[in-house]
């Protein structure tokens, strides 16, 4: 290891020579290689962590280039998988970091082995299906994780310590952590960068074992409105929480709690069914989707949405048909992008 590479970081007292050596032996797992994942991966790679595992199921599109670091126009032109393109650039930035890249849709099976030997999990996903799986595997294996999300000019970050802090399951239904997506409400790059700054700083603290200076509150901000909020949520920890309570069952690692996907025979269509049937407000979803510029049609029973020649239908019970494809991973990504 070249000491001069990290000389300015080593001069920072909370790290120093000993801390740099600690970082060199740590392993971080980043789920999602988009606006949050690319920036976090670059920061941690430049910081000299020992091993970085990055996972993403998607490929690069032109709309990604506005806010997702590490990618080029050539990557969008060739529809390169995000994880593959990111690894190529990260390896050029710091060849000393051992980088594992996986192009896959994360399920509990994959997450179980991906988390082996990991010191911190960093959330850079775009849907709560995977976040709840991360929440469960984090507590089952005792691995801290850092939640992060952003849309528009708004962002949220929260550090979760198994056995000590409320988990994401504790907060759902209590804390307004947002339901819009970048595809319906847009996003400015500084919002993503601000979330990344908090996530990666918290990750470095965790890797170095400097837990006394962790951000113990849920941090939310709106850059455009110049608003910032720190919310003390320790009282929201629930003794009967199925993930972090006294008798955990880790429900999101079971098949019953997963989004179900099935190809409709002979129709070049995929049906997506949420873990639990629900009553969706189709009019509300329609208003959100109109912001994309796609074609939205609505009746008393279903919503039809066409965007870039891809037609999708959402039913009141949360089911959706993704037409024009038999690719289940692609259909699932569209569902989470527009309807989740």
- Which tens digits make up the pLDDT trace of 230-270? 999 999 999 999 999 999 999 999 867 777 787 766 668 88
16: left (phi over 0), alpha (psi -120 to 50) or beta: left
Residue 149 sits at φ, ψ, to 5 deg, of -155, 155
Catalytic residue, chosen from 170, 182, 241, 244, is 182
Which one, of 109, 105, 65, lies nearest residue 85 by Cα?
65
> Other CB atoms closer than 10 Å to residue 203's CB: what's the count?
26
Taking CA atoms, 253 is separated from 63, 73, 106, 117, 285, in Å, by 32, 37, 11, 19, 28
State the pLDDT at residue 129: 81
For residue 191, the surrounding DSSP H or E stretch is helix 189-208
CA 312, 38, 223 angle in degrees (round to 5)? Answer: 80
- For all residues of the chain together, what is the average pLDDT? 90
* pLDDT(141) > 90: yes
Distance of alpha carbon 161 from alpha carbon 166, whole angstroms: 8
Q: How many separate helices (H) and strands (E) can be counted in the chain?
A: 12, 14
State the pLDDT at residue 310: 87
Distance of alpha carbon 103 from alpha carbon 81, whole angstroms: 7
* pLDDT(118) > 90: yes
pLDDT band at 106 (very low <50, low <70, confident <90, very high): confident
pLDDT band at 179 (very low <50, low <70, confident <90, very high): low
CA 30, 173, 189 angle in degrees (round to 5)? Answer: 40
pLDDT band at 4 (very low <50, low <70, confident <90, very high): confident
Q: Residues, the chain, total?
A: 340
| Domains of the chain: residue spans and CATH | 3-253 (3.40.50.720), 259-338 (3.30.310.10)
Token pair listed for 95:
């060849």
As to burial, measured by CB atoms within 10 angstroms (0-12 exposed, 13-18 middle, 19+ buried), residue 105 is middle
Give 288's strand partners: none
Q: What string of DSSP letters covers 159-175?
A: EE-TTTS--HHHHTTTS
Which one, of 193, 267, 176, 280, lies nearest residue 229 by Cα?
176
Greater pLDDT, 63 or 120: 120
241 is catalytic: no
* pLDDT(1) > 70: no
Residue 90 · residue 52 · CB < 8 Å: yes
CB-based burial, 171-198: b 16+ in 10 Å, e otherwise: beeebebeeebbbbbebbeebbbbbbeb
């Amino acid at each position: 290891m070249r000491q001069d590479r990290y000389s300015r970081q080593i001069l920072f007292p909370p790290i120093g020579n000993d801390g740099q050596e600690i970082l060199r032996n740590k392993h971080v797992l980043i789920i999602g290689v988009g606006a949050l994942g690319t920036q976090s991966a670059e920061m941690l790679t430049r910081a000299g962590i020992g091993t970085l595992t990055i996972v993403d199921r998607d490929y690069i599109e032109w709309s990604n280039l506005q806010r997702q670091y590490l990618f080029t126009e050539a990557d969008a032109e060739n529809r390169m998988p995000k994880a593959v393109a990111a690894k190529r650039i990260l390896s050029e930035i710091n060849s000393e970091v051992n980088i594992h890249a996986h192009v896959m849709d994360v399920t509990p099976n994959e997450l179980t082995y991906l988390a082996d030997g990991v010191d911190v999990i960093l959330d850079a996903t775009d849907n709560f299906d995977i976040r709840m799986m991360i929440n469960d595997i984090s507590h089952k294996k005792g691995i801290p994780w850092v939640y992060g999300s952003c849309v528009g000019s708004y962002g949220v970050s929260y550090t979760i310590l198994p056995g000590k802090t409320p988990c994401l399951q504790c907060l759902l239904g209590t804390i307004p952590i947002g339901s819009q997506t970048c595809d319906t409400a847009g996003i400015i790059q500084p919002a993503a960068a601000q979330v990344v700054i908090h996530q990666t700083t918290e990750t470095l603290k965790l890797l170095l074992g400097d837990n006394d200076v962790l951000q113990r509150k849920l941090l939310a901000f709106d850059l455009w409105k110049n608003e910032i909020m720190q919310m003390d949520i320790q009282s929201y920890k629930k003794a009967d929480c199925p993930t972090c309570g006294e008798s955990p069952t880790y429900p999101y690692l079971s098949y019953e709690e997963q989004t179900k996907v099935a190809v409709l025979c002979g129709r070049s269509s995929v049906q997506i069914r949420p873990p639990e049937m629900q009553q969706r407000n189709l009019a509300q979803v329609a208003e959100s989707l109109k912001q994309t510029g796609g074609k939205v049609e609505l009746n008393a029973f279903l919503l039809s949405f066409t965007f870039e020649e891809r037609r999708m239908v959402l039913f009141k019970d949360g089911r959706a048909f993704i037409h024009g494809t038999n690719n289940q991973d692609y259909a699932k990504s569209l569902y989470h992008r527009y309807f989740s």
